[in-house]
Amino acid sequence: MIYIGIDPAFRQNGFALAMIQDKTISYIQFKGGFIEFCRWLVQSAPEQTKCIICVENSNLTNKSFDMRGSRLVVARKSRDVGKNQATSQYVVDILKDMGYKVIDMSPKNKGVKWNSTSLARVLKSEGISQNESSQNQDKRDAAKLALIAMKKPYLAR
């Protein structure tokens, strides 16, 4: 089985995927965002029956975020959150439509963010090796989601 974690984002270079296969984790940073992800899905993704995918879906969060700053700053933050909510919901929708087993995870349920040391410690305890660095937060978040898919496949629908 292949376990995939996806941390979607609307912002440039913020869309990341981690894939655990044969006790090795690898990463993809979709610099082209949702469209590049869709290309990967059609051209390179594993078969639906061979993987479980955990997606951080910020659309599952129904609350107002940081309201500090001027009206213009608060409005920009609100728009950015809305963009991310739409992007993550589109990812979940297309995966389900294509027949993938998906775990729809809210940011709150995903839990606290890991730093590089925390991730390395967890991967080592699971016997998972990294072929490349996970030096940005988006990749670490995607790795955490892939581990959730591996540990809790029963959540997939």
If phi over 0 gives left and psi between -120 and 50 gives alpha, with beta otherwise, what is residue 115? beta
Find the mean pLDDT for residues 112-120: 93
Residue boundaries of the structural domains of the chain: 2-155
Kindly report the pTM of this predicted structure: 0.90
Find the mean pLDDT for residues 113-124: 93
Domain 2-155 carries which CATH code? 3.30.420
CA 27 to CA 6: how far, in whole Å?
Answer: 10
CB atoms within 10 A of CB 25: 25
Confidence of residue 131 (pLDDT cuts 50, 70, 90): confident
pLDDT single digits (tens) 70-99: 777 666 666 667 778 989 999 999 999 999
pLDDT score recorded for residue 11: 84
pLDDT single digits (tens) 37-66: 999 999 999 999 999 999 999 989 866 666
